[in-house]
Amino acid sequence: MKTTKAYLVEPLSATIRVVSIPQENRLAVIRSLIGCNRIDFVRMDDRLAVVVDDNGLDGTLPCLTRLDGYPSPLAGNLLVIGTDENGDPIDVAAGIDEIAGRFTIIRPVLRPVFEVLEGTRIFGRQLCAMEVRIELRPPTVVSENIH
C-alpha cells in the first residue's frame, strides 16, 4: 500500500515523529492523528503545509505551538505534510530536525509554594500558592514510526 511520509508534532509530550499516511482512508487517518474532525491547512512554504484542528484555539488549552513566521499560535496535534505544485500531499523532503526547529512548544509550568506548619501535633507543609512560568522549547525528535 502506498503511503506518504509526514511529521506529527504532539505538543502535550513536546515531541515530533515520523508517521506514514496511507493513501487509502488518508483523510480519516489525518483526522485521527490530529484528533479532530474539522481540519485546516497552514502553509509553511510552497512545499510544506501544517494540518491543524480548525477549532483548536477554542476552549481551554494546556499548551500552544508557535510556527516561525506565522502570526497566530496553533493548538493541538499538528501534522506537517509535503505538497506538490497542485497542493496534493507528497513525502516531506525536509529533515525532521529542520522541521522541529521551526516550531516552539509553549507550555505553562507550575511550581508549588509551601508553607511550613508547626504546632502541637502538627508537622508538615501546606500548599499556599502556585508559581507559573512559561516554558518555550522545540519539540524533541522521537524515532518511533507508526503506520
Q: How far is CA 130 from CA 44, 88, 90, 110, in A?
A: 37, 47, 46, 6
User: What distance in Å separates the CA atoms of residue 14 and residue 63, rounded to the nearest whole number?
Assistant: 10
Q: Of 43-57, 59-73, 115-129, which gets the smallest average pLDDT? A: 115-129
Q: What single-letter DSSP state applies at residue 73?
A: -
Report the percentage of the chain scoring pLDDT > 70.
97
Q: Mean pLDDT over residues 85-89, rounded?
A: 87
Q: Which residue has the higher pLDDT, 121 or 137?
A: 137
Q: How far is CA 134 from CA 63, 64, 75, 106, in A?
A: 10, 11, 16, 7
Task: Please determine, for residue 4, whether its predicted confidence score (pLDDT) is greater than 80.
Answer: yes
What region does 30 belong to: left with phi over 0, alpha with psi -120 to 50, or beta? alpha
Q: What single-letter DSSP state applies at residue 30?
A: H
Task: Please determine, for residue 146, whether its predicted confidence score (pLDDT) is greater than 90.
Answer: no
Q: Model confidence over 90-113: pLDDT tens digits? A: 999 999 999 999 999 999 999 999
Query: Hey, what's the torsion of the CAs at 85, 89, 90, 91, to 10 degrees?
Result: 140
pLDDT band at 118 (very low <50, low <70, confident <90, very high): confident
